[in-house]
Chain A
Amino acid sequence: MTLAFTICSINYLAQARTLGDSLRQTNPDWQYVIGLVDKLDQANLPASLLPDYPMLEVDQIEIEDFAGMCDRYDITELNTAVKPFYIDYFFRHYPDASEVIYFDPDIIVYQPLTQLKQRLREYNLVVTPHICQPITDWLIPNELNHLNTGTFNLGFIGLQKTEESNRFVQWWKKRLVHECRIDLCNGLFVDQHWVNFAPIYYDKVWIEKHPGYNAAYWNLHERFFSEQNGVWKVNDSADLQFFHYSGYGVHKPQEISKYQNRFTFSDRPDVVPLFDLYRQRLLDNMNETYRNYPCYYIKPPKTLYYQRVRQSLKSPINALISALENR
């Protein structure tokens, strides 16, 4: 059995349901679980808002130092840090799941993922690079941005349940307990940058370059879309497997993604129908209702008082640091 899962909070359940609906349509024999970084008993969702898919709350998956992680991380960091912990949980508690596949909630699957399943019979991990062709400009995101944040996009990862995959998951977990932060100057970008090590440290890691996988704003420069006889094609040849609507918002329908400045919909009319479809599905799945539920794990912003006192305490220390550094 293949187990697919996503991770989100209640405010993103419209996305998670849209992904689930697309999986049910294209891969009906897969099991789909929503990993919920939220607390259902606090939110009191009415029955009409409960998704048709099983939800697994993050405080139920036996994360050893979960309280500490909640304390250290903001909501983005926490949502990404728990990814390998879910995989580990599925490996241990779903004995029938021979493959575990993670998708970000803002993905739609367009095809039966038979090739992916085939790969996972031979390989331990399947990962997708952000770019399979060079980028020739320095708009955002460019190759330097990818160097800072990770070669592979971790909105998707497929794992065959093997000892080697489990070694990878245990290593990744260990790193993410304390170091799932965004600190580019110190080599950190949430869970994603770490996975650069995967093909080095672990055997049989497949780097999937099929242009139908994980299509998103970061690879539009190498991928063009068309609908032929009801099937979405990439570059006229490959079938679109899944599209990742990262950084797109129903409330900014004129923007491809808030994380990029390379393309507009008028440059890229080919992707407009893909986004129109997504927008409609989100609205149909009650995005407007879900988005108002605040996440239980969001911390109130900390106000740091006594700034002047802090400054005067720091100034001699900074002087000492600079004396030591510039000997």
Chain B
Amino acid sequence: MITFLTVCTIRQLPQALALGESLQQQHPADAFVIGLCDDVSHLPTGFQFPYPVVSINDLSIPDRASLSQQYTSAEFLAACKPLFIKQIYKNLAQNDWLIYVDPSIYFFQPLSDLQARYAEATVLLTPHLLKPLTDNAFPDEKYIQNVGLYSSGFLALRQTAETTRFLDWWSSRVPERAFARPCEGQYTDQIWLVLTPGLFEGVTIVKQPGWHLGLWNLHERPTEETEAVIFLNYKGLVDQEGYFQAQTRNRLASFPVIKNRLRAYQNRLSQFDQVGLMRVLPAYGLQPFRPPLKGWRKKTVTSLYQTIEFIDTVDIPRKM
């Protein structure tokens, strides 16, 4: 038995509903729960959840107001995510799976490998990249190190004592330390996962190329084979979420099958948004979000920084 969970704000609910629809098709016997990390009173009138919901009010967050004050909305959601996961996890029976997925994920095939291949695993991680990068596009591997090698957009947990130990550890660190601050070793809930293969037994790195396609890895994934894609994350493709909006490696035009899928997905989103969910601003995470620089602006700033570095370090003898 699998319980799928997503955590989202009101404006991401159409994505969550599309995800739910894909799960009904691919995993009809399994459960799906939505974690709502937003103010329930901001829901448009008449909106009904077609799935069970856990609300932020059901969690014990020590100081919601101050967390909301210190974080951007994406950081705030990341800070709460482990607590939502814990809330569902505590009701699982032994060996049941809980699978967290971003609302922007859509399933095209069932996770049939789960029992066959990973029956002994405790935690499944999906790396952003499976192969070394060979070009000079953005992001490079250094950037991936800063944001975390394993995507926290997908996390599969099997109910075991060791998994509980992982979840206790993660959920005690993340809420207070979910800033996007690479200089301090922090990057939302995600970077913490880098330590887990050392810290916990049974943490398993999933190397199946059909799992977790996204803007950041289309170049190394089976994008054109319809059967091969298990699930795809539309984060950054359909919205301004995530850490890869400024990426320059993958142009949608080069991936016609993905492009068609995106168009179909966007249609589903508008079907699910007839009450104006996407116009509701997130209630929590009050710090303004500064979108990353892109295009000419980014290029200019990069070369200006190089100029500064040159001025700082160029050797000029005292007497010419």
CA distance A134 to B305 in the complex (A): 38
Docked complex: B270-297 residues within 8 A CB-CB of A: 293, 297
Chain A positions within 8 Å of B199 at CB level: 129, 131-134
B132, B169, B184, B198: the one within 8 Å of A197 (CB) = B132
Looking at chain B's contact residues, the main secondary structure is: helix
Q: How far is the CA of A200 from the CA of B318 in the complex (A)?
A: 50
Q: Bin chain B's interface residue count.
A: 35 or more
Question: Binary interface profile of A, 130-149, with partner B (CB < 8 Å = 1, else 0)?
Answer: 11111000000001111110
Q: Which of A130, A193, A196 gathers the greatest number of chain B CB atoms within 10 Å?
A: A196
Q: Select A129's contact among B177, B198, B300, B301, beta carbons within 8 Å.
A: B198
State whether the Cβ of B44 lies closer than 8 Å to any Cβ in chain A.
no
- Is A67 an interface position by the 8 A CB rule? no
CA gap between A133 and B183 in the complex, in Å: 24
Whether B304 sits at the interface, judged by CB under 8 Å, is yes
Please measure, in the bound complex, the distance between the C-alpha atom of A324 and the C-alpha atom of B311, giving whole angstroms.
Answer: 20
How far, in angstroms, from A82 to B236 measured CA to CA in the complex?
Answer: 39
- A306–chain B nearest beta-carbon distance, Å: 6
Chain A: interface size category: 35 or more
User: Provided the pairs A134-B169, A134-B199, A324-B301 are in contact, do residues A305 and B194 lie with their beta carbons within 8 angstroms?
Assistant: no
Select from chain A the residue with minimum beta-carbon distance to B127: A200
Interfacial chain A residues near B308, Cβ < 8 Å? 314, 317-318, 321
Given the known inter-chain contacts A184-B183, A184-B185, A193-B145, please indicate yes or no for A317 contacting B307, CB distance below 8 A: yes
Residues on B with C-beta less than 8 A from A325 are: 293, 301
A187 touching B146 in the complex, CB below 8 Å, given contacts A130-B198, A133-B199, A324-B301: yes
Whether B129 sits at the interface, judged by CB under 8 Å, is yes
Chain A residues near B255: list those with CB within 8 A: none
Other-chain residue from B130, B301, B316 in contact with A306 (beta carbon distance below 8 A): B316
Answer yes or no: B192 CB below 8 A from chain A CBs.
yes
Q: For residues 182 through 240 of chain A, which have their beta carbon under 8 Å from a beta carbon of chain B? A: 184-188, 193-194, 196-197, 199-201, 207, 209
Cβ–Cβ contact A185 & B182, under 8 A: yes
Residue A277 at the B interface, CB < 8 A? no
With a CB–CB cut-off of 8 A, which chain A residues contact B317?
305
| Residues 298 to 320 of chain B near chain A (Cβ within 8 Å) | 300-301, 304-305, 307-308, 311-313, 315-318
B212 shortest CB reach to chain A, Å: 13
Q: Is the beta-carbon distance between A310 and B312 smaller than 8 angstroms?
A: yes
Q: From the candidates A143, A185, A199, A201, name the one contacting B195 in the complex (CB within 8 A).
A: A143
Q: Is the CB of B182 within 8 A of A207?
A: no
Is the pair A147, B307 in contact by a Cβ cutoff of 8 Å? no
Given contacts A147-B192, A187-B143, A321-B301, could you give 9 more A-B pairs where the C-beta distance is less than 8 Å?
Answer: A146-B185, A197-B132, A199-B197, A199-B205, A200-B205, A304-B315, A317-B304, A321-B308, A324-B304
Q: Which 7 A-B pairs have the closest CB atoms?
A: A129-B198, A187-B142, A144-B185, A187-B145, A147-B185, A148-B185, A185-B183
A–B complex contacts, Cβ < 8 Å, 23 sampled: A129-B199, A130-B198, A131-B195, A134-B199, A143-B195, A144-B186, A147-B192, A148-B184, A184-B182, A185-B146, A185-B183, A186-B146, A197-B132, A197-B141, A200-B205, A201-B132, A304-B312, A305-B316, A305-B318, A314-B311, A324-B293, A324-B301, A327-B297
